[in-house]
Structures are given as C-alpha cells and as structure tokens.
A and B are shown apart, each in its own frame.
Chain A
Amino acid sequence: MLQNLLTDGLVIGSVYALVSVGMTVILGVLGQINFAHGEYYMAGAFAAWWAIDRLGLSYIESIPLAILIVAVLSLVIGYVVMQRLVDVSFDAGIIATLGISLLLQNGATLLFGGTYQVFDGGWLAPMRVLGEDIAQQRILIVLVTLAVFGALEWLVRKSSFGKQMRAVAQNVECCHVLGLDVRRVVLITFILGTTLAALSGVMTAPITMNIYGAMGEAITLKSFAVIVMGGMGSIGGTLLAGWVLGIMESLVAAYVGLQFRDAVAFTLLVLVLMWRPSGFFNTKARY
C-alpha cells in the first residue's frame, strides 16, 4: 500500500516538476511569474486531443504536433506580450499573464466547448516493476521528466544559451551594454518554458483522461507553490519540490482524506514561506 502511494506520488510529482520547471526558467530570466502557465499545460493536452480525435493521429504522433502548436502559440504571445515584460514592474507582469490566462481558458472553451472531453490515447497497459503493476504511461512520465531535467541542467550550465539566460537573469542593463539580444533570450526561454508545460499536459492527459478549459488553473497555483519550495529559480530544487508535493498529496489523500489533497500545496507553501522563505534546498537561488 505504502509503496503504491509513493509510486503514485512520484508520478504526480514528476508532472508537477515538469510543469513547474518551465515556470522556473521563465521566472529566472524574465523576473516574472507566469500566471498563465497552467494554460499551456491545458493547451498541450487539448492540442494532442484535437490531433487524435479530429485528425485521427496516433498518440505518439500527437505529442510533437501538440508541442509545435503550443510553441507557435507562445511565439506569438511571447512576441506580443512577454518580451515587453523585461523591464516592467512585477504587478504589470501579474496582470498581463493573468489576462493571457483568461484569454487562453476562454479560447479553449470557445473552440472545444465547455464540457469535459475524453482523452483517448497513451499506453495504459500495466508493467511489472519491483513487484508492482504500474501503467506504462506513468513510468514514461517519470523517465521523460528525468531526461528533461538532465537536458535543462546541461543547457543552463554548459551551453552558451544557458550563459546568456544567466546573464539576462542577473543584469539586463549589462546585457544591453554588451549587445546581447535580451529579447531573443526572453522569447526562446518563454517558448522553452511553455512547451515543457505542454509536454507535461500531453503526457498526463492519458492518466487524467478528462480535459477541460480550466484544467490549468490548479496547475498554475501548484506550480507556484513548487517553485517557491524549490527556491525560485533552482532547477534541481524544482524537481525535488515537485516530488515532495506529489508524494505528500498522495499520502494525504490516502490517510487524511481525498478532499484535503489539493490543500497540501498551499499548506506547504505557507509553511515554507514562514520558515524557509528561500525554499527547501536553497543553496544558490536564481541560478
């Protein structure tokens, strides 16, 4: 029973981590919380559903298409809105991203209707791992998450683009002086962050089965909790915080009551802000 709960928590935690790390890199580079982040998760799930249900593609074909669709969507939003948020106040960023959130939610409702849609795809056959039957899709989520985090760590620490991300995160003025294209870095980072949310949405939809326009709301708020716990801008911290949240939720749902599950993130958030405002694992916040 306990092992089952821990596995469940790890899977859900990986989903949270995958969404949240996108929010983390955007926060790091842009200095803004993307309050529309969950909507890209929703958009990813809907794009894949559309590809499967309306175009008749297979699940595996729907994944790259969904990511491409969300990339184009965030290219437009990044170009029109997010690039302008580099030097503006935090509250302007909140209003702007909340506005985008409303736009995307209602856009999805307008396009696909206000009811739940059933997501028909994924690999749900069980696999025996460590004496337990786990759906293949769940194992895939954990593996993909680990791969993505490995790649992100490499990108930020080793690549030139990662250096430029760190430069923009630290001192925008200095980047201007040295001729670094801050807007390009912001735009690419934003697309990277949102497509990670979309990937998470596509990977999770076969398990949650139901998708709807407002499904991203809770994800945004939980991602916010995760990145605060993870130390606001730390990639490794985000992964651990996602797992902690997933496992705690799973344990609370089983031993305290299912209705308390969604309260875990916010309770943890309050506790962290009270005692460890720089996050669980803070060694060096904001890379």
Chain B
Amino acid sequence: MVVEPRTALSLRGVRKAFGPIVAVAGVDLDIVAGEICGLIGPNGSGKSTLFDCCTGLLRPTAGRVLAGATDITGWEMARIARQERLLRSFQKAVVFRALTAEDNLVLAGQMTAFPGLAATFGCGQNTRRRVRELRDRAGVLLERVGLAHMRHAKAGEMSFGQQKLLQFASMLMPEPRTILLDEPFAGINPVLIERIVENIRAVNREQGVTFVIVEHNIDVLRDLSHRLVVLSRGSILADGDPDAVIRDPLVVEAYLAG
C-alpha cells in the first residue's frame, strides 16, 4: 500500500494582481510535510507576495491556500499562526525590542500556553507552573541558537544577526508545524548563517517542522533544501532536486535575464 505523503501547505491556482501588475500568476504548489523547500527567483518574481498570500498578509486575487486540509484563504495572519501553527518570518527582524531575549520567547509561547482568555488572568499554581515551563523552554531554545549568554539582554541591544536568531527561536516556541522564512540569511555574517542553517536542519529532523525558505543565497539553499522551487514572473519555472534545478538552462537564463 502506498501512503500518500501529507501536505503541509497547498496552493491551488493562487494569483495576486495589483491593478494591472500580476505579481503571482496562478501558482499550484504542494509542500510536503517534513520537507525543507527552497524558493528562489529573480527580484520581482513574486516570492514575497506568495508568502504574503500564504500567511494572510495579502488576500489572493484568485485561488486557494490550504494548510493541511484547512482552507485558510483570507484568514488573518494571527489566526493562521494560532490555529494552523503556520508561522512566517520577515526580511527584517521582528522582535520586541524593549524586552529581554527570555521575555521575547516567553511571550511567543503565550498563545499555546494560555489559549483561553480566563487563563491569562490566572495567578494560581497552574499558571505559575506553565510560566515556569515557558521559561525553561526559552532557556533551552536560547542555548540551541547560541544566545544563552544574551538571555537577559534587551532584544533592541542585540546585533541584527542576533535579533534574527532570536526571532527564529521565538517562532519555535509555539510548537509550529510549518515555518516560512523570508530571506533568513540576508545581512548576516557567515558564522551566524551556519548557526541558523544547523538549527533549521535540527528542528526539521527532530520535530518534523516543515520549512519553506525564500533566499537569494543559492549556495546555502542548495545544501539545506530537499527541494528547490524556482519562481519567475509569478509562475513556477522549475521544481525538483536542488542540484538539477540549479543546472536547468531555463533557470540559468531567468537569473541572467533578471
């Protein structure tokens, strides 16, 4: 018996137009649960717009987006994150700058630790235990991304690369199923890039988290991804084994033209 692999994220004819400009021109794509999928393409090929359509920042002009079996088209970003555990990062580092690294992570764990409103006002033993668990988990994750020494430092005082690591750790707090990373390696030094890569691999392997990664650093992505998808002018140009995709003459041409 052949077991169909479960899909983490499915795009069905997703199209997004801004007036006369078509950013995404009808994309069909199935991201298999547990894979690391790289998404590349020249500037303006529609990668970020596609992410925005998947995570509720933009509503597709046409088509549907599914997380597992749930149709999430038109949902708000927070609801997608909360209910489907589908999270995304941005090119910039989105962190609570005035809070410490640890508090950033504790907050990130709120939606799973305290889903109900009443629980957020709690002060009993149960609440204290859950907060303690969040702190412990935050400690483990900070250790994992190599920020243990910054535990009590304000996020705003960290370097850009450290903030991105912190953001990455934050996204792991709410027990995500799928993470979309938008240029996680942009503007980061090679040592930190290596650290992020290791963490993505480890989280994918140990917790089965699915990753879709938009990135211009093709060398890093070729090593990291199980699969590479190339987007050009809003459509999928190539899809498959990273090494084969990168050698594809069509892809080479699109990049040179772009």
Q: Which of A158, A160, A161, A171 contacts B97 (CB 8 A)?
A: A171
- Most chain B beta-carbon contacts within 10 A, residue among A175, A178, A184: A178
- B-side interface residues toward A, CB under 8 Å? 76-82, 87-90, 94-99, 103, 106-108, 110-111, 113-114, 117, 119-123, 127, 131, 170-171, 173-174
CA distance A171 to B155 in the complex (A): 12
Q: Can you list 26 A-B pairs, Cβ within 8 angstroms, ordered by A? A: A158-B123, A159-B122, A160-B119, A160-B127, A161-B117, A163-B107, A167-B96, A170-B98, A170-B99, A171-B94, A171-B95, A171-B96, A171-B97, A174-B94, A176-B76, A176-B81, A177-B88, A177-B89, A177-B94, A178-B110, A178-B170, A178-B174, A179-B79, A179-B82, A180-B111, A188-B117
Q: Are B89 and A166 in touch, CB under 8 angstroms?
A: no
Q: Which residues of B contact A159 (CB under 8 A)?
A: 120-123
Q: Are B120 and A160 in touch, CB under 8 angstroms?
A: yes
Q: Are B110 and A174 in touch, CB under 8 angstroms?
A: no
Does A133 lie at the interface of the complex (its beta carbon under 8 Å from any beta carbon of B)? no
Q: Which residues of chain A from 154 to 193 have any CB-CB distance to chain B below 8 Å in the complex?
A: 155, 158-161, 163-164, 166-167, 170-171, 173-182, 184, 188
3 nearest CB pairs, A to B: A179-B81, A179-B82, A161-B120
How far, in Å, is A183 (CB) from chain B's closest CB? 9
Q: Which of B107, B119, B120, B127 contacts A178 (CB 8 A)?
A: B107
Q: Which residues of B contact A167 (CB under 8 A)?
A: 96, 107, 110
Q: Which residues of A contact B121 (CB under 8 A)?
A: 155, 159-161
Q: Which residues of B contact A163 (CB under 8 A)?
A: 103, 106-107, 110
Chain A contact residues: over half helix, strand or loop, or mixed?
helix
Q: Which of A160, A170, A171, A181 contacts B78 (CB 8 A)?
A: A181
Q: Are B131 and A160 in touch, CB under 8 angstroms?
A: yes
CA distance A49 to B120 in the complex (A): 34
- Most chain B beta-carbon contacts within 10 A, residue among A163, A174, A175: A174
Please name the residue on chain A nearest to B85 by beta carbon.
Answer: A179
Please name the residue on chain A nearest to B123 by beta carbon.
Answer: A159
How far, in Å, is B184 (CB) from chain A's closest CB? 14
How far, in Å, is B1 (CB) from chain A's closest CB? 37
Q: Which of B79, B96, B110 contacts A170 (CB 8 A)?
A: B96
CA distance A159 to B90 in the complex (A): 29
Q: A163-B107, A164-B110 are in contact. Are A170 and B77 (CB under 8 A)?
A: no
How far, in Å, is A170 (CB) from chain B's closest CB? 5
Q: Are B77 and A177 in touch, CB under 8 angstroms?
A: yes
Please name the residue on chain A nearest to B108 by beta carbon.
Answer: A178
